[in-house]
């Protein structure tokens, strides 16, 4: 089959065209707008389906340069770090713990469900974890790490393909499920945002002049915002490398590439708050929003959907069960646990993306909702904090525990 390779600039160019296509479709089609499906998901998924058709017909396979995807992902989470002030941490402290508790519970349930269904269809129970939290909460990164490990160390043939295919399914399902679920809650309970747009970056005691300067949008503010993002991202890579070199009791954890940048940005933000240095909040927010949209567009358009088309019946059944688990857990547990208010509805949407795909999916789900219904500052702080830091430790520990226990049971 002929292959055509797109370089970094071509990949980014296609992604931008698909983003614009997604925006146009979500504006014109009431169903997409009503369900709060993110524009990059719409455009990217259309392209992925077209690519699937070309591949299946033996016409063409496209190969993308995905380094640009990592760049925009890191820039987005760096921007998230600049919204993390101690005031919001104090306001959301209890909810951080509750959201983490929900995440731990769903990780355990996903693995338990995967193991039980694997036994029911005659598979090795450890292979069921390849439809559990390895690809679901862990995403492609964890799937790519544990899949080869299960094949090489435990002799589970096909584990890698299984985990990657499940992660691909979860990425799509989490993006499509979150918006409609939260919108139904907002409509049913008449929820609304109690925050103003400015509160995401405001500091208590900030003067009107400082507030105006923070939200000025001109060449200078965009240049300063770019400098802050790139500086934090650059320093953050050093922190990420240091974290990835750590091990505890023989266990080695792999942190996402953006965690160091996000934490570095949070430190810079709070140091600036303490010294009453005004950051270009408006420009940072725009840079972050654009980066997320481009990243998600690239992530969706580069999906190899033929991996899903080749799924066997048992795997399709297991993924359907995981989807049902996530919907009911998010709808009836997370929403109630987080307070049954507007912030809780937004976090429910995020939990679908977070629990089925990856933290960027969660952020995209929230962005689509908040654009329509108003800001949710606590959600924007809690979700990436739990999704990018705490859950990586916990998911690794739980997966390791399940593998050890299931090995004993054969």
Per-residue pLDDT tens digits for 209-250: 555 655 677 888 899 999 999 999 999 999 988 877 876 666
- Look at 34 and 340; give whichever has higher pLDDT: 340
Six-digit token pair at 127?
Answer: 């292979």
Q: Which residues pair with 252 in a beta bridge?
A: 247
Report the number of distinct structural domains present in the chain. Answer: 1
Residue 187 belongs to domain spanning: 68-409
Could you tell me what percent of the chain has a pLDDT over 70? 86
Q: Please indicate, yes or no, if residue 2 is contained in any of the structural domains.
A: no
Q: Are 345 and 182 in contact (CB under 8 A)?
A: yes
Q: Please indicate, yes or no, if residue 26 is contained in any of the structural domains.
A: no
SS3 for 51?
A: helix
pLDDT band with cut points at 50, 70 and 90 for residue 328: very high
Q: Please indicate, yes or no, if residue 207 is contained in any of the structural domains.
A: yes
Give pLDDT, residue 389.
Answer: 62
Q: What is the pTM of this model?
A: 0.69
Q: Please indicate, yes or no, if residue 49 is contained in any of the structural domains.
A: no
**Region of poorest pLDDT, from 62-66, 95-99, 396-400:** 396-400
- Residue 237: how many other CB atoms lie within 10 Å: 15
Q: Which of 43-52, 238-247, 253-262, 297-306 ranks highest by mean pLDDT?
A: 43-52
Q: Please indicate, yes or no, if residue 96 is contained in any of the structural domains.
A: yes
Q: What is the C-alpha to C-alpha distance for residues 126 and 259, in angstroms, rounded to an integer? A: 29
Q: Please indicate, yes or no, if residue 253 is contained in any of the structural domains.
A: yes
Q: Please indicate, yes or no, if residue 212 is contained in any of the structural domains.
A: yes
Q: What is the C-alpha to C-alpha distance for residues 225 and 199, in angstroms, rounded to an integer? A: 18
Give how far Cα 323 sits from Cα of 42, 43, 63, 93, 316, Å: 20, 23, 30, 29, 11
Give pLDDT, residue 387.
Answer: 79
Q: Are 404 and 374 in contact (CB under 8 A)?
A: no
Give how far Cα 316 sits from Cα of 124, 167, 311, Å: 17, 13, 6
Give pLDDT, residue 342.
Answer: 94
Burial class of residue 188, CB neighbours in 10 A (0-12, 13-18, 19+):
exposed
Q: Please indicate, yes or no, if residue 31 is contained in any of the structural domains.
A: no
């Amino acid at each position: 089959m002929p292959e055509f390779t797109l370089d970094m600039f071509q990949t980014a160019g296609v992604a931008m065209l698909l983003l614009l296509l997604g925006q146009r479709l979500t504006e014109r089609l009431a169903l997409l707008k009503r369900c709060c499906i993110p524009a990059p998901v719409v455009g990217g998924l259309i392209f992925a389906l077209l690519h699937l058709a070309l591949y299946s017909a033996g016409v063409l396979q496209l190969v993308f340069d995905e380094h640009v995807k990592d760049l925009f992902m890191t820039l987005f989470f760096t921007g998230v770090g600049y919204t993390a002030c101690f005031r919001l941490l104090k306001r959301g402290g209890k909810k951080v713990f509750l959201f983490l508790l929900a995440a731990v519970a769903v990780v355990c349930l996903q693995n338990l469900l995967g193991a039980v269904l694997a036994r029911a269809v005659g598979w090795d129970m450890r292979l069921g974890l390849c439809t559990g939290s390895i690809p679901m909460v862990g995403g492609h990164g964890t799937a790519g790490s544990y899949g080869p490990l299960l094949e090489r160390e435990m002799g589970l043939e096909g584990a890698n393909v299984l985990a990657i295919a499940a992660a691909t399914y979860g990425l799509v399902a989490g993006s499509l499920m979150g918006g409609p679920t939260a919108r139904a809650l907002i409509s049913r309970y008449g929820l609304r945002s109690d925050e103003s747009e400015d509160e995401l970056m405001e500091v208590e005691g900030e003067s009107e002049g400082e507030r105006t300067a923070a939200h000025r949008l001109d060449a200078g503010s965009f240049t300063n915002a770019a400098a802050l993002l790139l500086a934090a991202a650059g320093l953050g890579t050093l922190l990420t490398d240091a974290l990835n070199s750590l091990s505890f009791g023989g266990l080695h954890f792999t942190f996402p590439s953006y965690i160091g940048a996000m934490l570095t940005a949070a430190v810079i933000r709070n140091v600036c708050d303490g010294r009453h240095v005004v950051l270009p909040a408006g420009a940072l927010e725009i840079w972050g929003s654009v980066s997320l949209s481009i990243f998600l567009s690239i992530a969706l358009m580069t999906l190899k959907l033929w991996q899903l088309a080749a799924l066997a019946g048992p795997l399709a059944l297991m993924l359907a069960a995981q989807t049902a688990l996530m919907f009911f857990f998010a709808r009836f547990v997370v929403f109630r646990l987080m307070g049954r208010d507007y912030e809780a509805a937004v976090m429910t949407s995020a939990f679908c993306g977070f629990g089925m795909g990856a933290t960027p999916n969660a952020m995209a789900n929230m962005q689509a909702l908040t654009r329509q219904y108003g800001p949710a500052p606590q959600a924007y702080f809690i979700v990436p904090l739990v999704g990018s830091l705490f859950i990586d430790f916990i998911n690794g520990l739980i997966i390791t525990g399940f593998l050890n226990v299931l090995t004993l049971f054969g």
